[in-house]
Structure formats: structure tokens, C-alpha cells
Structure 1
Amino acid sequence: MDVSAIIQEYGAYYLNSGQNMARLKRLLLFGRETVKNATPIKTNDTVYQMGSSYIDSIVQPFQKTYTPKGNPLFKPNPIYLYHMKVDMDIWPDDIEATWLGFLAANNLSRKEWPLIRYLLEVHVFDQIENDMEMKLYYKGQFQAPTPGTAGDTEDSMNGLKYLLENKPVNRINIGTLDIATIYDQIEYGYEQVAEEYQNVPMVVGLSPKWRRAFLKDKRALGYYQHTNPGQIDDTLDFSPAKVTGFPSMIGTDDIWITPVKNLIHLTKKGENAGNMKLEESKRCVSFLTDWWEGLGFGLNEVVWTTVEEATPPTP
């Protein structure tokens, strides 16, 4: 816990001048917006073993001779869950002789101090949500941790961008995104979706910046008889597709399209992410929780994206 800037500005002492939690502000944090658009599945497995089945054409002209035709094909499609955790140590005494002293207490049990409740209610749980959305659901790339060393948040699981780069999905090309033409670009990308899926409810995923540009371009086209901005929706004309801006994709120019039910969110012990075990050792309070989580596509063959395929490593 770093209170050095507070001490430098306000001094290494507590003076009650009416300060309270209302004077403590934090930056904007995001919730788990990406998985709100996914099909939730709870499982006790650490690898959710899915599969796809196919059969080629079997109808043929009649003849008396028996002529078998047709070859069923089954393919595996595992979706991995990743074990992640929160470990954090807090030394509450660090704040007692500072401007933050109103979060201290006379209780010998430091985990009963207002500071601990404040951190849990205002920061810890919301930070978990923000980490999952902003660093993992789209941009995460799993790396095994170095034993005994805290790992980077981004290393905790493979996110959607990694899957789009490495799974056998369909590649589409709509050129460099342009705020002046993005409506037509997304419509052109949708035309590259297999025709049999163009009447299926679809999600078109992109960053919030590009979703807003899409709506502005739709307005600028000029052939809509709208009386207010609220009538300009996020649908593509003549299709059941919905253009959705994901905070997890902020900073990217990527687009992906898939049926609404095809994005799958897996959790094991997922409720643990909303619970925290507090342990007190001497005057240190430790925050601990862990859970399993993963994202994937039920059928990779019905995903279309502008994300380029990952370059294989050089032998």
C-alpha cells in the first residue's frame, strides 16, 4: 500500500478536518461487459470438451443397387478454463498517522478497520471486474507464472483476440476502418458471412469508439427519416445483426462477427470472484480468492473476423 504521495502533500500525521470517504475518488472502472453477450455455462471441468459434427450430402438418384454414400465427420473443440487468483497484503497501520487516518480504528483486529471495508467495497471487487474486461476477455494471452513471483494480469488467460488469431475462423477484409465509411465497411464485411447465416441473430463486436462512428455514419447517410438521435439504432439494415461496442476491445480496430449463442463463457467456482477471504497475521491483512474462467466459440467455423491469422513460429 503506497501512501507516500498523501504523506508528502498532507504530512505524516492525522488531523481531523472533516475528511471522509466522500473525498476519496477513483478512476472509472468497467464491469464484465463482454461476457454479458456470451452464453454462460457453469462447469466442474477445467477443460470443457465440445465437439462439432458434419455429414456431407447423402441424397442421390434412385437405383435398385445399394450404393452407400455419406461420411459423418466429428471434430473436437476444447475450451480451456484458467485458474486465476487475487493475493494482496495490506498493512493498515500505514494510514493511521496520515490524512487517511479516518479509515483507522482502535480495534486490535486490523481486518475490522474501516480501511478494509472501504478497499473491498470501493476497489477490490470492482478492480477484479475491470481487470477481466480490460486486460483479459479480449487481450489476454496465457503465460505460465514464474514460481514464487506474482504474474502479470494479462497472462492469466487466453482472450478472444488470441482465439481469433489461432483458431480456424473465417478471415474477412474490409480495409482500414474509416469514420467516414464505417457503415458501408461493416455492411460489406457482413456480406462476407456465409449466406445461410445472414438471417441468424448475430453480434458484430468492435471497440466503443468504432460503434459510435458506425452510428454517426449511419446518421450521415441521410436517407433515414429520424426526428431524434435515439432512433438511430445499432442494427445493420435488413439483417438481425447488432453492432456492439466492447470495452475489452478499446484501442483496437478489430471486428468479429458470430451468432449470438456461439460465444461461450465458462466458469468454475466463479462466485469466488465476488467473495474474498481475509486472513490476519500479526498486523497484516491478506486478501485471497481464486476461481476458474474461460471464453471460447462453440463453432469456430461460424466466426468471421478482420483479425489476421497468427504467424507460425519460425522452426
Structure 2
Amino acid sequence: MSINVEDVVAQFGAFYKPGSDNQKNLRNMIYKPKETASFFQNRPSDDTIFRSNMAALTRVVQPFQKTFTPIGALTFKPNQFDLFQMKIDVQEAPDALVKTYVGFLGDIAEIDRSKWPFVRWFLEQHIMPKADEDLETLEYFAGVFAAPEEGVAGAAGTSMDGIRKVIRGYATAGRTNVGNGAISTGAPASDDADFCTQVEDFFEAIPSVFRKKLDIIFMSPENELKYRRGKRKKYGKDFNFVTNTGVSALLTLEDFPGIQVKGFESHAGSDLMWTSIPMNRIRALKKASLANTMLVKEYAPRTVSAYTDWFEALNFEVPEFVFHNDQDLE
């Protein structure tokens, strides 16, 4: 890696002007936050495999008779999934900043470059927010794990299996929707009001015993906007208010006001929509604290290296409690 200061030099010249104005005028890129994972329960452990079991009992109630006629079979259905080890490796030579407009990020009085103001600014304002954006937009939903070639940085979107691949796998195995598979919705209707109906029909197709336990229908930002417009068009009401759960009334289901329709940047471009019980959404972690902690060293003269690594996976404790439509499953 190398710091690109060409535009700064071209605009302001290759020299440093002392004073606080430079710092006040430095603006950082706005990165997309790590939102999807916040709706999954953290499950830290020392294992690299998450294991769970679903227990179910068949019918036990029967008409009375004097003879003892026991019924009811207890079954267990196991589930397990791997955690994915991922890392951040960065390296910069901050000397390139010293004679520029942003020279205040350097410290020529300190020989150890890892102690320069640049390092903390770079970590807090760019590396960690960018890591959150990478996870949100490339890994958490669309990721498909691929083992990296030795000595070569792995490609974008290959650090882990994202939610879409996880749901695809469980659907292929016949485990989602209590074994009933995808709920048929078809492609999103071109008319916004019709799409609103599609979302409502999707939720109504979920077995009733689960409906009151659900909270969010996950979808793309584009389809959230389509639903918002469709609800306004379909019902012709003033939905310009917030419900008692703090959600815009335009983003709830008309007959199920406790259910929120929510678009995630991670799902952008996909027509897959899904929902699951909150406690069933699992973010399995190992070395969790290291995801937000980086070791900074000056291994080579005037070159700063920073790195960290951790294990993580977004998945579901019981696949049978995942409900999804029939889109973007291949």
C-alpha cells in the first residue's frame, strides 16, 4: 500500500503550512455502517464450529382409556456451521505526508512512525469504518468463502459465507420454513402497491404459530423503498407517524403493525426477502474483541504496519425457523 497525496500536492503545493486551519478543513469519507450484524445475537466462544440441536415432540394427547397406551416420540435435529477466520493487514509509509498540506498528521520530532498522529487518525477514521463497510456490503449477505492463494490477498466477498448462501444451503437441504421451503412470491411486481401486497402475502404464508415471534422482514434498500411507496399508494392513508416501537408506520405491515420491513445495504441488488425469530439469528464469534483491536508496529524503517484477525459467522441456530421467498436462491 502507499499513500496517494498527488491531489493534495497538486492543489496546495508540496509544502506544509503550520496552523490549525488544515486540521479543521480535513474531511473523511463517509463509510457505510455495519448494520446487518447488529440484528444477530453475539455468541462468543472458543470454538471454530457452532453446534445446536432442535428438539421436537410428536402428539401426546389422546382419548382416555384404562389401558396404558403411551405415544409421543422425541426427536433431535442437529445443526452446525463453521466460523470463518478473517483479517485486516495494512501498511503505510506516512513520510509522504510531512511536506504536504496534511503534514500535521506526521510528527518529525518522533522517530518511531507508529507513534505519529497519522496512525490513530488512520485507524479510527478510516481502517475500522472501512472494515465495517466491507463486511456489510461484501461479506455479510453476498459473501461466498474461497480459500486464498498463498501469499496473495483474497478477493472481495470471499472471507465468509454470507446470509444468502446460508439460506440457499438450508433451502436446498429442505430445512427452511419448518421443512416447507421457499414461500412463493414471484419477482417483485412492477406496481408498488402490488409489491406491498406481495410482502403482506409472504408474511401471511408463514405458519401462524411463528408470526407473533417475528420482528423484521429483511430485504434490499430498493425493495424497502418500493414497499414504502406501495403501502402509501395501496391504502391511501396518512402514515406520517412513528409507531410505539419507534418505526415509521410506512415500514410496518398493515395487519401486523409489530412487523418491520427493513432494507439493508448488505442486501442491495437482491430480491431475496427473509425473516426469522430474533433469538434464532446468530453471530458466532471467536476472538471477538480483536475485530476492533489492531496491533500497530514499525517493522521496517519508516513503514507502519497494522493487523488483526478474528473468527465470525452469521447464521441460524435452527434452520427450520427461517422463512424466505423464492427469489435469488441460485
TM-score scaled to structure 2, two decimals? Answer: 0.85
1:175 paired to 2:186:
yes
Tell me, what secondary structure is at the counterpart of 1:221? helix
| C-alpha distance in structure 1 between counterparts of 2:75 and 2:23, whole Å | 61
Counterpart residue number, 2:281: 263
Tell me, what secondary structure is at the counterpart of 1:264? strand
| C-alpha distance in structure 2 between counterparts of 1:146 and 1:29, whole Å | 28
CA contact (8 A) 1:6 1:99 kept: no
Counterpart residue number, 2:312: 293
Q: Which runs of 5+ in 2 are unaligned?
A: 243-247
CA contact (8 A) 2:193 2:231 kept: no
CA contact (8 A) 2:270 2:328 kept: no
Residues 225 and 31 of structure 1: CA distance in aligned 2, closer, same or farther (over 3 Å): closer
Tell me, what secondary structure is at the counterpart of 1:212? helix
Identity %: 29
Cα-to-partner distance string for 1:130-188 (whole Å, 9 max, x where unaligned) = 11111111111111121221112411111100111111323012122133422111001
Structure 1 residue 193 displacement after superposition: 0.7
CA contact (8 A) 1:256 1:303 kept: yes
Q: Which amino acid aligns with 2:265?
A: P
TM-score scaled to structure 1, two decimals? Answer: 0.89
1:131 paired to 2:134:
yes
| C-alpha distance in structure 1 between counterparts of 2:315 and 2:122, whole Å | 32
Counterpart residue number, 1:242: 260
| Match runs of 1:24-39 below 5 Å | 24-39=26-41
Structure 1 residue 100 displacement after superposition: 3.2
Counterpart residue number, 1:206: 219
1:251 paired to 2:253:
no
Cα-to-partner distance string for 1:7-42 (whole Å, 9 max, x where unaligned) = 672487224286624433343312221122122222
Counterpart residue number, 2:322: 303
| C-alpha distance in structure 2 between counterparts of 1:96 and 1:303, whole Å | 54
Residues 44 and 197 of structure 1: CA distance in aligned 2, closer, same or farther (over 3 Å): same
Counterpart residue number, 2:245: none
| Match runs of 1:1-315 below 5 Å | 1-3=2-4, 5-6=6-7, 9-10=10-11, 13-16=14-17, 20-106=22-108, 107-167=110-170, 168-169=175-176, 170-178=181-189, 179-224=192-237, 226=239, 228=240, 230=242, 232-239=249-256, 240-281=258-299, 282-308=301-327
Residues 17 and 187 of structure 1: CA distance in aligned 2, closer, same or farther (over 3 Å): same
Calculate the aligned-residue CA RMSD, in Å: 2.4
232-241 or 250-259: which moved more? Answer: 232-241
| C-alpha distance in structure 1 between counterparts of 2:27 and 2:8, whole Å | 17
Residues 309 and 28 of structure 1: CA distance in aligned 2, closer, same or farther (over 3 Å): closer
Q: Which runs of 5+ in 1 are unaligned?
A: none
Residues 46 and 34 of structure 1: CA distance in aligned 2, closer, same or farther (over 3 Å): same
Structure 1 residue 198 displacement after superposition: 2.2
51-60 or 286-295: which moved more? Answer: 51-60
Q: Which amino acid aligns with 2:128?
A: F
